[in-house]
Structure 1
């Protein structure tokens, strides 16, 4: 496919996303199935165009003076890839499946348009209804923080210390220009290609052999801050597909026991292949079985309950940019109720002197500091470690600078830490809380 034809395909996919109110990944998959002539590189390039358009939807539409898929794709090419009117004219020729030529209005918008006078939700590319919540968190830095969340996310890998050290893996991935992450002692970062695509890791020996796992640096840090030790009894209460379970197993050196549970049994079972590839041997999977209490035997026995709480996912918008436009106000209330329920469930399993690590990939105060404050009011036998104490105990003292200014816990964002948006808080029970 020509570059122009790829742009036409991206416009077609975005039109499908808008018309059917569906995730971009689903629309891209269907487009690929119905256009089998498109090769893997074509499909990857089209996906990159679509996700860039979603990242910059509000600012691109403002720049072009239109919200049509064509306007958003063209505007995003100007915003995300720095293409000027002349460059886009050469691609939009109307020939060989390329988009029709630019009209006079489009040419003028590309040549003279800018974001001067744009509202903050346009300049920062986020839903207008979330502005009060985001401003309460970031204040005058709201546009800068949200603009960082509208950029492309790098490819982060976690070195599996059950099989290799970081230096060894770094050498093996030198051809991908891998570099050590700045905050996680286990992480490697691989730069994206100019068109926004990452490398194909499925053919890399280090990935196939389980020496590395794809995991954002912020997620790696959350697992390290859990302070999981060899020999402990650990419950990963919302394990999902097992990313943090794998990291906990490595920290525990395959010693002790990790119990991984999730309401979505099919998603949990998909972690089996990952566990096997990583050489993990200390994990039991607890899939739901109707009304049967599959975790009853763990009540009051866990040293650590890891709560990767259901949340709005606002901290992952770099990777899931279309999700921010599909999010609705009612979703926040639903997630908060689920977070309260997850924390209450965690109390049931934490033993005396045990601990609960509460983690979200959200940047909203309502899902983070407010939840910890409410939990502590209801549970005086728990205490939240200060960010400084938690960072020091995890031997990651530099993380103390990410202490939340809105309450207890640590906050990570693309702008401040170069990671996805994460919140982490450690709740200690009983005698530990009093020390």
Structure 2
């Protein structure tokens, strides 16, 4: 396929997404299945165009004076790719499978339109209904935080210390030019590709043999702030695919016990091969069994209960730019209710002197500091561990700089920390 034909395909996929609220990856996959002439490199290029357009959907539409898929792609080629008017016009020649030629108005807007005077949600490329919440969280920096969330994310890996040191992993993956992450002592970072896909990590022997696991540096830091110790009894209450469970197993050097639970057993499915690959032997998976209380024996026994809470995922928009446009107010309300339920459930399993660590990949106060304030009002036997103390306990005193200005806990963002957006709060009983 020619680059112009790839642009046409991207416009077609965006049009389908405008009609149906669904993940962009699913729409791209379906397009590929119905256009089998497109090779893997073509599909990668088309995917890159679609996601670049979604990253800049609001600002591109503002520039072009239209939110039609064609207009968004045209504007994004300028804003995301930095193409000139003539370079864009060459892709819109109308010849063969290329899109129709640029109109005079499109050329004029590409040449002269700016974002001057645009509101913060346009400058930051996030939904207008979240404007007040972003302003509450970030103040005057809301647009800048949004722009950071609209950038491409690096590829972060965590060295699995059950099998290798970070230095070993860096050597094994030297051909991918990884760098040590600046905050996590276990992380490796591979720069994001300017377009197309990144390296096929699952084909790397370091991954196959369990020396590394894909994990954003922010997620690594959240696990490290748990300060899990060898010999502890730990309950991962929302284990899902097991990312943080695996990180905790490494911290504990396979000593003690981690109970990995999720109220949706289907989400636990990926954890089994991951545990085997990582060599994690101190993890017991507790899948739900109908109405049976599969955690009854853990009551008041755990030194650590981790709540990696379901959330809106606003902190992951660098990796899932389509998710911000699919997010609806009703989903926020549902996540808040689920978070409250989990926070109220966790104390049952915490022994005296134990702790709950609450984590989200959201940047909204509603899901973070407000939830902790509500929890503390109803649980007088718990207190929030000060950020300085929690960071020191984890051996990462530099994380104190990320203490939340809105209450207890830590806030990590792409702008301030170079990570995905995360909130972490350590709560201690007694």
TM-score, normalized by the shorter chain, greater than 0.5: yes
d(CA) in 2 for partners of 1:40, 1:275? 31
CA shift, 1:127, in A, is 0.8
Any idea what SS the aligned residue of 2:80 has?
Answer: helix
Q: Which position in structure 2 is the counterpart of 1:206? A: 206
Equivalent position SS for 1:6: helix
**1:8 aligned to 2:8?**
yes
Aligned length, in residue pairs: 430
Name the CA distance, whole Å, in 1 between partners of 2:50 and 2:119: 24
* SS of equivalent residue, structure 2 residue 297: helix
TM-score normalized with structure 1 length = 0.97
| Corresponding residue of 2:317 | 317
8 A Cα contact 2:47 2:196, kept in partner = no
Hey, what's the Cα distance between the residues in 1 that align with 2:277 and 2:19? 40
Alpha-carbon distance, 1:94 to partner: 2.1
3-state SS of the aligned residue for 1:331? helix
Structure-2 residue corresponding to 1:403: 403
Partners of 2:275 and 2:7 in 1: CA distance = 39
Unmatched 5+ stretches in structure 2 = none
**Quick one: distance in 1 between partners of 2:293 and 2:101?**
62
2-side partners of 1:32 and 1:56: how far apart?
Answer: 23
Structure 1: which 5+ residue stretches go unaligned?
431-435
Counterpart in the other structure of 1:276: 276
**Contact persistence 1:10–1:49 (CA under 8 A):** yes
Query: Deviations 1:405-426 (Å, cap 9, x if unpaired)?
Result: 1111000000000001100000
1:331, distance to aligned residue in structure 2 (A): 1.7
Per the alignment, in what secondary structure is the counterpart of residue 129 of structure 2? helix
Partner of 1:58: 58
The Cα of 1:196 is off from its aligned counterpart by: 5.1
Query: Residue 30 of structure 2: SS of its match in structure 1?
Result: helix
The match for 2:124 is: 124
Give 1:95 shift: 2.6
Alignment partner, residue 356 of structure 2 = 356
Matches within 5 A, 1:5-404: 5-195=5-195, 197-404=197-404
Q: Give me the whole-angstrom Cα distance separating, in 1, the residues matched to 2:35 and 2:208.
A: 29
Question: Which aligned segments of 4 or more residues in structure 1 are displaced greater than 4 angstroms?
Answer: none
CA distance in 2, matches of 1:370, 1:202: 39
Moved more, 356-365 or 287-296: 287-296
Aligned mates of 1:286, 1:374 — CA distance in 2: 29
* CA contact 2:156–2:189 (8 Å) conserved in 1: yes
CA distance in 2: counterparts of 1:236 and 1:320, whole angstroms: 25
Please say if residues 152 and 196 of structure 1, whose CA atoms lie closer than 8 Å, have aligned partners that are also in contact. no
Distance 1:360 1:12 in 2: 34
- Counterparts of 1:5 and 1:154 in 2: how far apart (Å)? 28
Cα distance between partner residues in 2 of 1:64 and 1:302: 56
Q: State the distance in 2 between where 1:392 and 1:401 align.
A: 12
Q: Deviations over 1:168-223 (max 9, x none)?
A: 11112121110000000000110122215321112211111111111000000000
> For the residues of structure 1 that align with 2:272 and 2:94, how far apart are their CA atoms?
49
8 Å CA contact 1:310–1:360 kept in 2: the answer is yes
Contact persistence 1:308–1:360 (CA under 8 A): yes
Kept after mapping to 2: 8 A contact 1:192/1:199: no
Which whole-Å CA distance do the structure 2 matches of 1:41 and 1:357 have between them? 42
CA offsets per residue over residues 245-299 of structure 1, 9 Å max, x none? 1101111111111111112211202211111111111111111111111111111
For the aligned residues, what is the CA RMSD?
1.0
User: Helix, strand or coil for the counterpart of 2:423?
Assistant: strand
1:100 and 1:154 map into 2 onto residues whose CA distance is 35
